[in-house]
């Protein structure tokens, strides 16, 4: 019975809660039982808040279902880079091992205002730096479809938890694909909103001009429900966009009356479909494109010519911003402080050397290098110029199409330990996702099938123009309804 409940979509569980067929306490207990059964195998959760979740669920039950709260009683999880009042926020790092925020991030406050129950915090690559959730200082998360494989990263804990049925939805963060790539690897839906659509207040910064919080769910309808709850203008975030937030669920409901894609121009960028894409990934994604065509979409070729420069550009910009953002973790104000230091310079050096893992240290060093006086013009300034060209590529492409699509990742989930010895190969895992963060545009990954040989999920990525989330969601729903990908891993 527990597994049956936990296999429901967020919206299906919400309907049961609203009707009184299931209590909020029962929903939380079902998730806690599922976590107990699956956590040893997948290790998706860093901090479980069982007692606070049960207490909040009991409070909701005492008040009764509230039709004004679209997530009333629904248990969810939050990535450990997002601040949660009274719950640890460690960013998967030893340097924040004992940090407990005294406030909620705006996105978390949006969930709780909508009636959601926070179950705890999910594992992640340290400070969101990684593509496999192997860089966590605490544990390595496994893919529920095959526990010898990675779940992707850096939001791999959130992706694995949703896929395994430990919750009905989760928040992730996306700096260069960290929602979309793990969503693809774990066979779920993941959406990176337009930069400014969701407040970054309370998100521990990695790359401030790139980071976005977004939902990770089983279905597109679930994604729309969570996105509506967390979106909106926030005066505490200077990059938050002031325009009114649409009701994404209402947009999907209106679309569902037809469910077709007549008049949609679907752009296929040649740079995303060529060499380097695994055959089974190409087969699944082509099948999804064919399904869109059968629903009435017009498939048109487009080009994003600066894509080959995206990896280098992204890692220069992201590491430069990381070196600046992480300078605050110095052992003085908060975070780990090495007790053996005897002077100020030693305090900085020892606290950071012991508190940060090797990948974070690598990125800080590279970021500091590209910002140094002798190399700023050669690296950072040049990367900023190329970033503008990459954004212009998308703007030009959207003149001839409404939505762009391609594989989320060139390959399905790879083995744990397979790429840890070669950072460059790990960085190339994000080759199809990072351009969108540089451009500040919305994108999402949806499952479109299983690889014929690997048996692992394959994700199709959809790109939209700025604040085009409604069009992305309706397109994604039509395609997923047509291809009907397997949704539940069999072994967990």
Answer for the pair 207, 322: CB distance below 8 angstroms, yes or no. yes
Q: Which of 104, 119, 106, 107 is nearest to 45 (CA)?
A: 119
Q: How many CB atoms lie within 10 A of CB 282?
A: 15
> Which residues have a Cβ under 8 Å from the Cβ of 112 and sit 6 or more positions away?
104, 118
Q: Output the DSSP codes for 241-275.
A: --SPPP-HHHHHHHHHTT---TT-EEEEEGGGSST
Residue 276 half-sphere exposure toward CB, CA atoms < 13 A: 17
Give kind and range of the element (H or E) at residue 448.
strand 443-450
Region at 331 (left for phi over 0; alpha for psi -120 to 50; beta for the rest): left
Q: Is 79 a residue of the active site?
A: yes
Q: Of 29, 69, 79, 149, which one is the catalytic site residue? A: 79
Q: Of 9, 154, 158, 323, which one is the catalytic site residue? A: 154
Tokens of 305: 């010519």
The structure tokens 């960290």 sit at 178
CA distances from 189 to 217, 223, 256, 423, 483 (A): 5, 7, 18, 27, 14
Residue 319 and residue 325: Cα distance in Å, rounded?
Answer: 10
Q: Is 238 a residue of the active site?
A: no
Tokens of 17: 């809660």
CA distances from 326 to 216, 322, 368, 482 (A): 26, 6, 11, 45
Tokens of 8: 């429901």
Active-site residues, by number, are 79, 154, 178
């Amino acid at each position: 019975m527990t597994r049956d409940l936990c296999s429901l979509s967020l919206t299906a569980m919400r309907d049961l809660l609203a009707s009184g067929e299931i209590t909020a306490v029962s929903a939380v207990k079902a998730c806690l039982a599922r976590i107990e059964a699956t956590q040893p195998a997948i290790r998706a959760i860093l901090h479980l808040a069982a007692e606070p979740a049960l207490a909040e669920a009991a409070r909701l039950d005492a008040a009764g279902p509230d039709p004004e709260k679209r997530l009333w009683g629904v248990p969810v999880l939050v990535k450990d880079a997002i601040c949660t009042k009274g719950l640890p926020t460690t960013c998967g790092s030893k340097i924040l091992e004992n940090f407990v925020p005294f406030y909620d991030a705006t996105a978390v406050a949006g969930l709780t205002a909508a009636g959601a129950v926070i179950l705890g915090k999910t594992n992640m690559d340290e400070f969101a730096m990684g593509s496999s959730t192997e860089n966590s200082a605490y544990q390595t998360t496994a893919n529920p479809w095959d526990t010898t494989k990675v779940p992707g990263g850096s939001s791999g804990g959130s992706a694995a938890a949703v896929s395994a049925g430990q919750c009905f939805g989760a928040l992730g963060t996306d700096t260069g694909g960290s929602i979309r790539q793990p969503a693809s690897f774990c066979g779920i839906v993941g959406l990176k909103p337009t930069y400014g659509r969701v407040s970054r207040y309370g998100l521990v910064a990695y790359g401030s001009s790139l980071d976005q919080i977004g939902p990770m769910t089983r279905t597109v309808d679930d994604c729309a429900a969570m996105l509506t709850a967390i979106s909106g203008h926030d005066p505490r975030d200077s990059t938050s966009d002031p325009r009114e937030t649409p009701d994404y669920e209402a947009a999907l409901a209106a679309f569902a009356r037809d469910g077709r894609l007549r008049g949609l121009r679907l752009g296929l960028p040649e740079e995303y479909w060529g060499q380097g894409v695994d055959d089974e990934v190409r087969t699944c994604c082509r099948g999804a494109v064919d399904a869109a065509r059968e629903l009435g979409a017009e498939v048109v070729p487009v080009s994003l010519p600066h894509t080959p420069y995206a990896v280098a550009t992204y890692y220069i910009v992201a590491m430069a911003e990381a070196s600046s953002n992480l300078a605050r973790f110095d052992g003085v104000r908060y975070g780990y402080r090495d007790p053996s230091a005897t002077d100020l310079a030693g305090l900085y050096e020892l606290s950071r050397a012991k508190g940060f893992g090797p990948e974070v240290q690598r990125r800080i060093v590279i970021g500091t290098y590209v910002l140094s006086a002798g190399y700023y013009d050669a690296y950072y300034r040049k990367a900023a110029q190329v970033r503008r060209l990459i954004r212009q590529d998308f703007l030009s492409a959207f003149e001839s199409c409404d939505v762009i699509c391609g594989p989320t990742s060139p390959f399905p989930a790879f083995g744990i330990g397979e790429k840890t010895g070669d950072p460059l190969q790990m960085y190339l895992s994000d080759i199809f996702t990072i351009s969108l963060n540089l451009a500040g545009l919305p994108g999402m990954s949806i499952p479109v099938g299983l690889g014929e040989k690997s048996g692992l999920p394959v994700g199709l990525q959809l790109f939209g123009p700025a604040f085009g989330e409604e069009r992305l969601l309706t397109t994604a729903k039509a395609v997923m309804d047509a291809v009907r990908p397997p949704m539940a891993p069999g072994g967990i």
